[in-house]
Amino acid sequence: MKRATILLGLTLALALALAIPRSGEAQSSSVTVIKDATILTISHGTIEHGSVLIRDGKIAEVGKSVNAPAGATIIDAKGQFLMPGIIDCHSHIAIDGSVNEGSISVSSMVDIKDVVNADDIDIYRDLAGGVTAANVLHGSANSIGGKTVVIKLRWGQPADKLIFEGALPGIKFALGENPKRSGGAVLPGVPRRYPDTRMGVEDVIREAFKEAKEYMKSWDDYNRRKAAGEQNLIAPRRDLQLEPLVEVLQGKRYLHSHCYRADEIMMLMRVADEFGFKVRTFQHVLEGYKVAKEIAAHGAGASTFSDWWSYKMEAFDAIPYNAALMTQRGVVVSINSDSAEESRHLNQEAAKTMKYGGMTELEALKMVTLNPAIQLGIDKRVGSIDVGKDADLILYNKHPLSVYAVPQKVWIDGHEYFDRERDIAQRAELEKEKKALIEKEKKAEPGQQRQPGKQGPPRRPPQDGDSPEGMKP
């Protein structure tokens, strides 16, 4: 019974959060000043009792004092801490339908961008935890997964407005246990999906890039002959599966690879060198500390967990010093969530690198701000509090590396998308609306009973492609 009550409470809270009005639109003034805060700029130190001036969604001034024009919205942040919005480099929130197109080993034709779900409550929850941008990835069911997309957590905006404009899209690769298993029990008569081994994973990737190169060549040939004035040519058939791999070869798409073991990390870098592409980030990369120098030499970033391991064989050799050791070898390291729960306290996850590995406060905070921005190629726009960057900011009541820190306000592009006080204030009103709707339905009930009621109509807007949980790391 107690559990049921808790569940009910959770459901209520969820329902309420769902109903938070679309914010950010009501921003009247285009100039906002946050004053008297401890500003953790990440890029150029900490400013005590500092101010930030936001104009047209961008950070216009940062310093001890700013020139606030008349009519600017002034936010008194006395005693509070301002830092850049958190960037989660490995997220599966805001996806409509399954996270995996796991039916085949090369599913590069699918695109997370097609299924961004702007209504996912996890967007709002992440926002309440200070996350302002996320690298939304396909799952790790197959060696070459789907196309990925970087979003800003502009809660209340439609899906196309969530896309981080100008951010290079990516593609998800996966190595090791996930892609080599066929995804559940094998039924009699149903063939297992290739590959079954780590060797097979490598083979799948090599074959795919060989095909992609041939495909690229067929287009090059066609374009050359066409340019030469040849008539009666048939254009190659556009292939949505190979196009993103060509883009990886051309450096127009980032490769984010899920991985655990040092040997497979080395494997992918060798294949990359052979085919002439780069791995942008290794994700999870729990044995990255063993091959940190090689990762740094390749130029790849590493996005890992703070202290999450031993949930499967290939995750047994992990250590909590991983992030720190890779950092010390020159790798750009970020701490990610891969979880819609952990993403809400990535500041605390970052803090753990201070205990394990002796990272400084700045190094720790960078792992959830500037470093993931660099890894995603968006560091010119976000990741630190600098003039000219997007005003993606979190205001904490305590220092963000403290376990007592709770985000009070979160801005994206200068719009206040989350405000803790407003959230709390609106709960009663939303609860009232909910009760009223329930009453209304109950009143309509007698009329409905007249109808034959065996149809079992949908309880919610049908979501096509609802699916089981995506594969965990």
Partner 1 sequence: MPAWFVRRLAPGVLVAVCAVAVVAFHSPRSAQAEEPRYFAITNARIIPVSGPPIDGGTVVISNGLITAVGKDVAVPPEAWVIDGKGLTVYPGLIDALTDLGLPSAAPATPPGGGQQNVAALLAAQQGQRQARGPEDRPGTTPWLVAADDLKPNDRRIQTWREAGFTTALAAPSNGIFPGQGSIINLAGEEPGAMVVKAPATLQVNTARTGGFGGGFPSALMGALAYVKQVFIDTAWYAQAQPVYDAHPRGLERPDYDRTERVILAALRRDEPVLVPANNELQIRRMLEMAPEWSSHIVLYGVQEGYATANLIAAKKIPVLVNLRWPEPARDTDPESEDSLRTLRYRDKAPSTPAALAKAGVKFAFYSGGITNPKDILRNAKKSIDAGLSADAALRALTLDAADIFGVSDRLGSIEPGKIANLVITTGDIFSDRTQIKMVFVDGRRFLVREQAPPPQEPGAGGRSGNLTGRWNLIVVSPQGDEQATLEVTQSPDGTLSGSISSRMGTATLTNGSVSDARFTFTFTMTIDAGPTDVSVSGTLEGATLKGTMSFGGGFVMDFTGTRAGGPPGIAMWENEGGRR
Site for partner 1, residues 237 to 266, rule: CB under 8 A: 237-241
A 10 A CB-CB count for 318 gives 22
Site for partner 1, residues 18 to 57, rule: CB under 8 A: 18-19
- Identified binder of partner 1 from the candidate list 6, 199, 235, 297, rule CB under 8 A: 235
Contact 42, 363 (CB under 8 A): no
Please tell me whether residue 109 binds partner 1 under the rule CB under 8 A: yes
x/- track of binding to partner 1 for residues 309-348 (CB under 8 A): ----------------------------------------
Please tell me whether residue 220 binds partner 1 under the rule CB under 8 A: no
Please tell me whether residue 465 binds partner 1 under the rule CB under 8 A: yes
Question: Closer to partner 1 at the Cβ: 43 or 117?
Answer: 117
Q: Which stretch binds partner 1 (CB under 8 A): 233-241, 284-292, 371-379, 414-422?
A: 233-241
Please tell me whether residue 234 binds partner 1 under the rule CB under 8 A: yes
- Identified binder of partner 1 from the candidate list 229, 388, 446, 457, rule CB under 8 A: 457
What's the full length of the chain, in residues? Answer: 473
Q: How many residues bind partner 1 (CB under 8 A)?
A: 75
Q: How far is the CB of 186 from partner 1 (least distance, A)?
A: 9
Please tell me whether residue 117 binds partner 1 under the rule CB under 8 A: yes
From residue 62, how far is each of 44, 78, 81, 387, 401 by CA, in Å? 11, 16, 14, 7, 22
Please tell me whether residue 142 binds partner 1 under the rule CB under 8 A: no
Q: How far is the CB of 138 from partner 1 (least distance, A)?
A: 8
Please tell me whether residue 114 binds partner 1 under the rule CB under 8 A: yes
Question: Closer to partner 1 at the Cβ: 210 or 380?
Answer: 210
- Identified binder of partner 1 from the candidate list 36, 111, 349, 390, rule CB under 8 A: 111
Contact 137, 376 (CB under 8 A): no
Please tell me whether residue 446 binds partner 1 under the rule CB under 8 A: no
Site for partner 1, residues 79 to 98, rule: CB under 8 A: 96-98
- Identified binder of partner 1 from the candidate list 71, 79, 158, 251, rule CB under 8 A: 158
Please tell me whether residue 15 binds partner 1 under the rule CB under 8 A: yes
Please tell me whether residue 429 binds partner 1 under the rule CB under 8 A: no
Please tell me whether residue 466 binds partner 1 under the rule CB under 8 A: yes
Q: Which stretch binds partner 1 (CB under 8 A): 57-65, 108-116, 315-323, 393-401?
A: 108-116
Question: Closer to partner 1 at the Cβ: 49 or 434?
Answer: 434
SS (H, E, C) the chain: CHHHHHHHHHHHHHHHHHCCCCCCCCCCCCEEEEEEEEEECCCCCEEEEEEEEEECCEEEEEECCCCCCCCCEEEECCCCEEEECEEEEEECCCECCCCCCCCCCECCCCEHHHHECCCCHHHHHHHHCCEEEEEECCCCCCCEEEEEEEEECCCCCCHHHHECCCCCCEEEEECCHHHHCCCCCCCCCCCCCCCCCHHHHHHHHHHHHHHHHHHHHHHHHHHHHHHCCCCCCCCCCCCCCCHHHHHHHCCCCEEEEEECCHHHHHHHHHHHHHHCCCCCEEEECCCHHHHHHHHHHHCCEEEECCCCCCCCHHHCCCCCCHHHHHHHCCCCEEECCCCCCHHHHHHHHHHHHHHCCCCCHHHHHHCCCHHHHHHCCCCCCCCCCCCCCECCEEEECCCCCCCCCCEEEEEECCEEEEEHHHHHHHHHHHHHHHHHHHHHHHHHHHHHHCCCCCCCCCCCCCCCCCCCCCCCC
Question: Closer to partner 1 at the Cβ: 135 or 384?
Answer: 135
CA 8 to CA 3: how far, in whole Å?
8
Q: Which stretch binds partner 1 (CB under 8 A): 61-69, 259-267, 288-296, 448-456?
A: 448-456
- Identified binder of partner 1 from the candidate list 190, 227, 421, 443, rule CB under 8 A: 190
Please tell me whether residue 437 binds partner 1 under the rule CB under 8 A: yes
Please tell me whether residue 187 binds partner 1 under the rule CB under 8 A: yes
Question: Closer to partner 1 at the Cβ: 101 or 413?
Answer: 101
Please tell me whether residue 115 binds partner 1 under the rule CB under 8 A: yes
- Identified binder of partner 1 from the candidate list 70, 185, 227, 228, rule CB under 8 A: 185
Please tell me whether residue 440 binds partner 1 under the rule CB under 8 A: yes
CA 203 to CA 205: how far, in whole Å?
5
Q: Which stretch binds partner 1 (CB under 8 A): 122-130, 153-161, 302-310, 418-426?
A: 153-161
